[in-house]
Amino acid sequence: MKRVYVNEEWCLGCHLCEYQCAFANSGETDMVKALKGVKINPRIQVEEGDGVNFAVQCRHCEEPLCVKGCISGALSIKDGVIHLDENKCVGCYTCVLMCPYGAIMPGNGTAVQKCELCLNNSCGEPACVKGCPNAAIVYEER
C-alpha cells in the first residue's frame, strides 16, 4: 500500500506540510480564507532537532494499536487506511494513549483527528506531499 514516507535528510523544517494539511482538511477552497488568522491544528507535525527535522503523521500501521484500543469502534481499517468515524468518536483519547507515533491528536471538536492520506477530503492524495518543496515526504510503496 502507498504510504507517506519521510526522507529526513531533505526536510528543511519549513512547516509547509502542516499548512497544506490544515488547508486540505479545512473544507475551504481558498487557502487565505482557510488559514488567515487561524491557529492551525494540523494532522502532520514537524519535529525539529539539532540539524534534523522531519514530519510525522499516521503511519497506517498493519497492526494498528489505535484501532485495537478504540473503545467506541470509531477507528477502523478501510483498504489499509486507518479511518476515523468522527460521528462515533466521543473524544476519550484512548487512541492518543495507544499510538506509538503520537500521530493522533485532539481535534477541534469532540472527536480526535488523524491523517487519512487526504482520501477523505477533496484533495484526494496527501496534500502535505504535494506541497513539500524538497521531497522530504513522499507518497509511495516501499
Q: Which of 91, 107, 120, 130 binds another protein (CB under 8 A)?
A: 91
CB of 27 or CB of 51, closer to another protein: 51
Identify whether the C-beta of residue 3 lies closer than 8 Å to the C-beta of residue 59. Answer: yes
The reply on whether position 5 binds another protein by CB under 8 A is yes
Task: Please work out the total of residues on this chain that contact another protein, with binding judged by CB under 8 A.
Answer: 38
What pairs with residue 138 in β-bridges?
Answer: 5
Site for another protein in 36-65 (CB under 8 A): 47-49, 52, 54, 56, 59, 65
The reply on whether position 28 binds another protein by CB under 8 A is no
**Helix/strand/coil percent split, the chain, to 5:** 25, 20, 60
CA–CA separation, 126 and 138 (whole Å): 9
CA–CA separation, 9 and 83 (whole Å): 30
Interface with another protein (CB under 8 A): 3, 5-8, 47-49, 52, 54, 56, 59, 65, 68-69, 71-73, 87-88, 90-102, 104-106, 110, 142
